[in-house]
Every structure is written in C-alpha cells, then in structure tokens.
Copies of this chain bind each other. A is one copy, B any other.
C-alpha cells in the first residue's frame, strides 16, 4: 500500500522537532517559542520562532497541516478539479546575527486532493551576505548528493528551477546562491510515491547538518559596521523577494493564512539606502557579481 497522508504529516512534525533541537543546540542560547494555531476552514499549525540567540537573530521553523475546501480561485490557479484538499509541510527561514553567517530557507510540502491527485514540493536555498565559494560548493554538493540518490536528472533540473525561482527581476540579481527547488513531484515510471517521499525526507534531513555547519564555521568571525550595514541592505532585498515574488507568501496573503507565521520570513531589521554603489573589487562587489543564474557551484572550474 502506498504511503498515506498520516505518515507524511507525522514525518513533517518530527522533522520540525529535530531541526529545532539541532538549531537550539548550535545556537547555545535561544529557545524556540511555540504557537499553535487553527485554521477556521480546517487544520492548523505549529509555529516555532527563535529570537535573539547567540548566533540566530530571528528565525521560524513552521509546521502546518491545513485541510478543507479549496477556494475556486485557487482550484483554477492550480488547474485542479477536486476541491477537498490537504496541504502540509515544514517551512523555515533563518536570519543570523552575523553578516558572516548566511540566511537559509527550506520548504518541504505535500498536497493532496480527495480525488487522489497529490504532489510533493520543496526546496532549500542559501543567501549568504558575503558569498564564500567553498561554502557554496559544499552546499550545492550536499544537495546534489541527495538528488543523485534518486534521479540523475534531479539536481540539474532542480538547481536551474531554484535559479529561476529565487530571482529578483527588478534588481536583475538572484536572492542568493540558489539551491534546489521542485514542485508537483509525483510517482513516475522511475520512482514510486514512497521513493519520492524518501527523497523529500532526505532533503528535509539535509537541512540541520548543513546549516549548523555554517553556523559553527562562521559564528565567531569578526565583522565591522560596514559589513553589518551590507547585511541590512541584503536583507532588504530578501524582503523585496518575499513580498513581491514569493509564491508561498502570496498564497498565504491571498488565502488569509496566519499572517505572523507567513511573515516570520522577514528579518528583524532591514535597510533601504538610496542607490548603493559598491566597488567591483570589494567583498560586496564580488558577492554581487555572483548573484546570478547559471553558476556551476559544484565545480566552479567546469
């Protein structure tokens, strides 16, 4: 028998637990604050927010499982016929205190309709305030390893998808160094539903080791006021992406989701300064030059 929704929901819950534990441990100070919420139409969520830690300034690791009747507008947008739905997943955004530690985002989700239609979706992407090539290489290699276990086409396809998705057209720059992004993933000739679920689990399980490694590696690096200011500017771009382009955010705002859980992705402080110019040869300029699509991070010499 194929994997059932209860098993998926349970696994997402346990993923939230294990990630929160790993982040608290590496942070060493802050604890997640938990809020349960219910959705009037059915289901609800477990929002967990961490603030003012040693390493983490603000972050959310949110689980939700909402169900009920899909509004017609969204049925049309999704191109589906059935209207009783379940949407469950874990959504994470972490903003660290130090500009030397990257911002990270992860989402893993499962969607099911009463007529049996279902799909998985998700992704991880990294937004360093300063791009460190070795970190970018490591990050993409980890994701490639997870992908390659299931399908050799996954990494190139999902890496390009992330490049295209996490892009800010009005700035002509990517949000960060990308990662992987996938949607509407379901069983095929190659993979069963169980195998797709295993892939999603592996993506989810990759998060904590990757991010706690970056926390540990960079948390004690010094930084100056100029670097802190640059971080606030990069966070401003993060806000621009999330409020203007991010489909999950738009979906949440349009469907009157729990606003505080949706907008947990926004940083505690962000800055907009007029017409910021940086020297091409500066660390900021070099980072900007790498915020573009199509970079082969796994092998920069390729």
Contact = CB atoms under 8 A, between A and B. Distances in A.
Contacts of A260: 274-275
A274 B244 contact: no
Contact of A273 (B170, B268, B270, B274): B268
A68 interface: no
Contact of A270 (B170, B244, B259, B269): B269
A266 interface: yes
A97 interface: no
Given A240-B243, A243-B240, A259-B170, A274 B264 contact: yes
B274 A58 contact: yes
Interface residues of A, number: 31
Contacts of A96: none
Interface string A227-270: 00000100010011001100000000100100110011011111
Contact of A232 (B239, B244, B269): B269
B171 A259 contact: yes
Contacts of A263: 240, 272
A275 B239 CA distance: 17
Contacts of A296: none
A21 B218 CA distance: 48
Contacts of A273: 51, 58, 268
A295 B270 CA distance: 32
Contacts of A33: 274
B272 A267 contact: yes
B243 A170 contact: no
Interface string A266-300: 11111111110000000000000000000000000
A72 interface: no
A38 interface: no
A198 interface: no
Interface string A20-53: 0000000000000101000000000000010100
Contact of A272 (B171, B232, B253, B268): B268
B243 A274 contact: no
12 contacts: A51-B273, A58-B272, A58-B274, A60-B274, A170-B256, A171-B259, A232-B269, A236-B266, A264-B274, A268-B271, A268-B273, A269-B271
A243 B253 contact: no
5 smallest CB-CB distances across A and B, nearest first, come from A266-B272, A243-B243, A260-B275, A170-B253, A49-B274
Contacts of A35: 275
A41 B170 CA distance: 17
A62 to B, nearest CB: 11
Contacts of A232: 269
A237 to B, nearest CB: 10
